[in-house]
Amino acid sequence: MTTQTRPVLFDGSALTIEDIVALAHQQATPRLSEQAEFITRIDKGASFVDRLLKEEGCVYGVTTGYGDSCTVAVPLALVEQLPVHLYSFHGCGLGDYFSAVQTRAILATRLTSLALGYSGVRYRLLQHLMILLQQDILPLIPQEGSVGASGDLTPLSYLAAVLAGEREVLYQQKRQPAAAVFKALQIKPLHFKPKEALAIMNGTAAMTGLACLAWQRAAYLSQLTTRISSLAVIALQGNAYHFDEKLFSLKPHPGQMRVAARMRDDLQCHEQAPRNDSRLQDRYSLRCAPHVIGALEDALPWLRQLIETELNSANDNPLIDAEGEHVLHGGHFYGGHIAMAMDTLKTTVANLADLLDRQLAQLVDPKFNHGLPANLSGAPAEQAMLNHGFKAVQIAVSAWTAEALKLTMPASVFSRSTECHNQDKVSMGTIAARDCLRILELTEQVAAACLLACVQAVELRGGLVELGTNMQKTITDLREHVAALTSDRAMEADLRVCLELIRQQHWQLYD
């Protein structure tokens, strides 16, 4: 477990992507406000629902069936049984389970929304959610089965069921029945009040938690791709003047300008090497690196706004305005903004994979690499005919890139009419988020391979002392973990080491 460094307080105040990511990686300690004013505000919503029941008011999902069944009245004597049926019949998820990191992000995201006080739940429910986070009792949640409108009903049903002491959890790295873990820890299962299971399930927490993780990984990958591109420019004897400050002031996209400035900083100590051809301009994968990476850099602030607005929203249905004594029926469970954010992010990230793939293709090919050994082989001359260097790695990179590009089809355009045509336009936001995370995994694999290749190429080129401090540090630090390729060996272990460093965000790249 990572050392916990700071508290994150759930009191109805806005949280950030970084808060959710820190909680997901156990780099922060979750805390639930114990202020009397906060507790009163939360409980007031549940009390208002109770009063409506006593007055025999009609409330969707409380005194009616769910979805298209909203016209079916539920007798007051059966109202308390309805939440159990809700999480029970939605227990049909399939596919792999969300990881521990992803599940913590989902829990923290749902708690953020419920803490706003518009969901008609008791403070006690928030306490039970907090127990799961603090004790690291993680519901086993299948990834597949949400269309992203009416919220993440099926994934979040597993959270509701666990709070009630049912289904399975991951606890102390073991898959166990929730009931057994609760008994061992003396945790009483939650008996849901009428609106509470619906409040947990009818929201966008799964897709939004995943989106927070995706955004943070993409932001780091943007910087890493910039550093790799700078190494590729040096290895390929590229033209550092392609990143001229005046040049980029004439097309002033802020993110693009920022990437060019980072590359100028990386390359400022590099003496321009003699060119081996007469071209004034490098191929696009070098010359246009700031433009490719810059598209992601310019999207990140906008995507942050979309994700954090969703994170800090009341997004279940109906919403309970206890102060104004209104029940607000609407569609805030619709995940359209997260779907658009994830479809956008996955496209810009896949373009990073494509950029790096093209750079590597130049590096390994003696027709284009300006005198480097074929396939970046580091073997001595007497062994050169036996060794194939990064040949197979380049093939693998091509495969990973192709798979990433294939997944960029926007999920949000594949809306399906479901549930007796009640849910007739749905967001597919959770599928988009899952696609985005898969593209990030593939692009990180591409980055790991290209970082190893670029460092090998720069070392083969020589002149390391001419590099700036940051560039030298990247190379020397990598070599502390992975040796140079001087003779053919299976590269899987090296790639996995480098990949893990990337996912830990090991390198501090740019301010």
When pLDDT is cut at 50, 70 and 90, the band that residue 2 belongs to is: very low
pLDDT of residue 415: 83
Instruction: For 210-320+327-503, give the CATH class.
Output: mainly alpha
pLDDT of residue 290: 98
Lowest mean pLDDT among 360-364, 377-381, 421-425, 485-489: 421-425
pLDDT of residue 407: 97
The percent of residues above 70 in pLDDT, for the chain, comes to 95
Rounded mean pLDDT, 414-437:
87
pLDDT of residue 68: 59
Highest mean pLDDT among 79-88, 315-324, 347-356, 455-464: 347-356
CATH 1.10.275.10 fits 7-203, yes or no: yes
pLDDT of residue 503: 97
CA 323 to chain centre: 36
Q: What are phi and psi of 96, to 5 degrees?
A: -65, 155
Does 4 have pLDDT greater than 80?
no
pLDDT of residue 350: 98
Handedness of CA 485, 489, 490, 494 (dihedral sign): negative
Highest mean pLDDT among 330-339, 398-407, 466-475: 398-407
Rounded mean pLDDT, 209-237:
97
What mean pLDDT, rounded, does the chain reach?
Answer: 93
List residues with catalytic annotation. Answer: 60
pLDDT of residue 65: 61
Q: What is the DSSP string of 332-350?
A: TT--HHHHHHHHHHHHHHH
Using CA atoms, how far residue 264 sits from 247, 248, 279, 380, in Å, is 12, 11, 21, 34
pLDDT of residue 368: 94
When pLDDT is cut at 50, 70 and 90, the band that residue 275 belongs to is: low
Decide: residue 17, CB within 10 A, 0-12 exposed, 13-18 middle, 19+ buried: buried
Rounded to the nearest 10°, the torsion over CA 241, 243, 249, 251 is: 120
Rounded mean pLDDT, 80-105:
94
Lowest mean pLDDT among 27-31, 85-89, 134-138, 289-293: 85-89
| Coil, strand or helix at 138 | strand
Domain ranges of the chain: 7-203, 210-320+327-503
In the chain, the amino acid numbered 121 is V
The percent of residues above 90 in pLDDT, for the chain, comes to 80
pLDDT of residue 427: 87
Does 135 have pLDDT greater than 60?
yes
When pLDDT is cut at 50, 70 and 90, the band that residue 69 belongs to is: low
Rounded mean pLDDT, 470-494:
96
Rounded mean pLDDT, 417-430:
82
pLDDT of residue 394: 97
pLDDT of residue 276: 52
Does 277 have pLDDT greater than 90?
no
**What is the β-pairing status of strands 326-328 and 319-321?**
antiparallel
**What is the β-pairing status of strands 29-32 and 7-10?**
parallel
Rounded mean pLDDT, 392-421:
92
pLDDT of residue 83: 84
Q: Are 335 and 148 a contacting pair, CB within 8 Å?
A: yes
Domains 7-203 and 210-320+327-503 agree in fold = no
What token pair was written down for 275?
């060119």
Q: pLDDT (tens digit, 9 = 90+) per residue, 241-269?
A: 999 999 999 999 999 999 999 999 999 85
When pLDDT is cut at 50, 70 and 90, the band that residue 466 belongs to is: confident
When pLDDT is cut at 50, 70 and 90, the band that residue 3 belongs to is: low
Rounded mean pLDDT, 483-499:
96
pLDDT of residue 269: 53
